[in-house]
Amino acid sequence: MKHIRTIIAKEWAEVFKNRLVFFTIVFLPLIFTALPLIMLSVTKSSVPEGSGSSEVPQMFAAACGSMSANDCVQAFMLNQFLLFFMMMPLIIPTTIAAYSIVGEKTTRSLEPLLATPITTEELLIGKAAAASLPAIVVGWASFIVFILLIPVTGASKAVQLYVLTPTWLMGVFVVGPLMAIAAVNLAIFISSRVNDPRTAEQISMVLLVPILAIMFGQIAGKLVIDIQLMLIFIAALIAADIGLVFLGVKMFQRETILTRWK
Amino acid sequence: MIRTELLNKKFKIGKGKPPIHAVQDLSLRVNEGEVFGFLGPNGAGKTTTVRMLASLIGPTSGRAFIGDLQIGKDDRQIRREVGILTETPGMYERLSAEKNLTIFAELYDVPDVPKQVEKYLSMLGLWGRRFDEVGSFSKGMRQKLAIARALLHEPKVLFLDEPTSGLDPEAAKLVRDFIEELKAEGRTIFICTHNLDEADRLCDRIGIFKSRLITVDTPENLRKQLFGRKVVFHLRALDPAWLVLVRGLDFVQDVQTVDNRLVIALAEPETQNPQIVRALVQAGADIQFVGELRHSLEDIYLQTIQADQA
- Cross-chain residue pair B107–A3, CB shorter than 8 Å: yes
Among A25-34, A150-159, A215-224, B5-14, the range scoring the smallest mean pLDDT is: A215-224
Residues in A closer than 8 angstroms to B108, CB to CB, are 116-117
The residues with which B37 forms a beta bridge, in sequence order, are B191, B206
Is 90 exceeded by the pLDDT of residue B258?
no
The amino acid occupying position B283 is A
Task: Pick the more confident residue, B56 or A55.
Answer: B56
- Nearest CA distance, A184 vs chain B (angstrom): 21
Contacts of B241 (CB under 8 A, 6+ apart): B283
Residues in B closer than 8 angstroms to A120, CB to CB, are none
Pairing of strands B261-266, B254-258: antiparallel
- pLDDT tens digits for range B134-162: 989 988 888 889 999 999 999 999 999 98
Backbone angles phi, psi at B250, to 5 degrees: -70, -20
- pLDDT tens digits for range A109-153: 888 998 999 988 888 888 888 888 888 888 899 999 988 988 888
Contact by Cβ (8 Å): B39, B197: no
Q: What integer pLDDT is reported at residue B149 of this predicted model?
A: 93
- Cross-chain residue pair B51–A3, CB shorter than 8 Å: no
Check CB contact of A112 with chain B, cutoff 8 Å: yes
Check CB contact of B84 with chain A, cutoff 8 Å: yes
Residues in A closer than 8 angstroms to B51, CB to CB, are 258
Q: Determine the Cα–Cα distance for residues B147 and B141; give it in Å rounded to an integer.
A: 10
- pLDDT tens digits for range A225-235: 788 888 988 99
Mean per-residue pLDDT, A1-12: 90
Q: Determine the Cα–Cα distance for residues A181 and A133; give it in Å rounded to an integer.
A: 10
Check CB contact of A212 with chain B, cutoff 8 Å: no
- pLDDT tens digits for range A74-119: 888 887 787 788 888 888 888 888 877 887 877 788 889 989 999 8
Q: Among all residues of chain B, which has the CA nearest to that of A119? A: B76
The ipTM is 0.79
- Cross-chain residue pair A117–B57, CB shorter than 8 Å: no
Q: What integer pLDDT is reported at residue B125 of this predicted model?
A: 84
Mean per-residue pLDDT, B5-25: 88
Q: What integer pLDDT is reported at residue A6 of this predicted model?
A: 94
Task: Give, in degrees to the nearest 5, the angle at Cα B152 between B150 and B156.
Answer: 70
The residues with which B83 forms a beta bridge, in sequence order, are B158
Check CB contact of A137 with chain B, cutoff 8 Å: no
Is 90 exceeded by the pLDDT of residue B51?
yes
Is 90 exceeded by the pLDDT of residue A157?
no
If DSSP codes are grouped into helix, strand and coil, which group holds residue A204? helix
Residue B6 Ramachandran class (φ > 0 left, ψ -120 to 50 alpha, else beta): left
- pLDDT tens digits for range A204-251: 778 778 778 877 887 777 777 788 888 988 999 899 889 888 887 877
Contact by Cβ (8 Å): A188, A248: yes
**Closest in A3, A109, A118 to B90, CB measured:** A109
Residues in A closer than 8 angstroms to B106, CB to CB, are 2-3, 6
Q: What integer pLDDT is reported at residue B191 of this predicted model?
A: 93
Most A CBs within 10 Å, among B94, B132, B151, to test the A interface: B94
Check CB contact of B71 with chain A, cutoff 8 Å: no
Among A38-42, A116-120, B81-85, B230-234, the range scoring the smallest mean pLDDT is: A38-42
Check CB contact of B149 with chain A, cutoff 8 Å: yes
Contact by Cβ (8 Å): B83, B150: yes
Provide the number of CB pairs (under 8 Å) joining chain A to chain B.
Answer: 75
- pLDDT tens digits for range B261-295: 999 988 888 899 999 999 999 989 899 999 888 77
Check CB contact of A35 with chain B, cutoff 8 Å: no
Most B CBs within 10 Å, among A99, A111, A262, to test the B interface: A111
Is 60 exceeded by the pLDDT of residue A52?
no
Is 70 exceeded by the pLDDT of residue B255?
yes
* Strand extents, DSSP E, B94-225: 157-161, 188-192, 205-210, 212-217
With cut-offs at 50, 70 and 90, classify the pLDDT of residue B108: very high
The residues with which B191 forms a beta bridge, in sequence order, are B37, B160
Contact by Cβ (8 Å): A136, A180: yes
Q: What integer pLDDT is reported at residue A56 of this predicted model?
A: 66
DSSP codes of every residue in A17-45: TSHHHHHHHHHHHHHHHHHHHHHHHHTTT
Q: What integer pLDDT is reported at residue A48 of this predicted model?
A: 56
Is 70 exceeded by the pLDDT of residue B222?
yes
* Averaged pLDDT of chain B: 89
Mean per-residue pLDDT, A160-171: 83
Report in angstroms the alpha-carbon separations of A56 from A12, A65, A156, B60, B120.
Answer: 44, 13, 18, 65, 68
Is 70 exceeded by the pLDDT of residue A50?
no
Is 90 exceeded by the pLDDT of residue B63?
yes
Exposed / middle / buried, residue A62 (Cβ in 10 Å: 0-12, 13-18, 19+)? exposed
- Nearest CA distance, B108 vs chain A (angstrom): 6
Task: Give, in degrees to the nearest 5, the angle at Cα B65 between B59 and B71.
Answer: 40
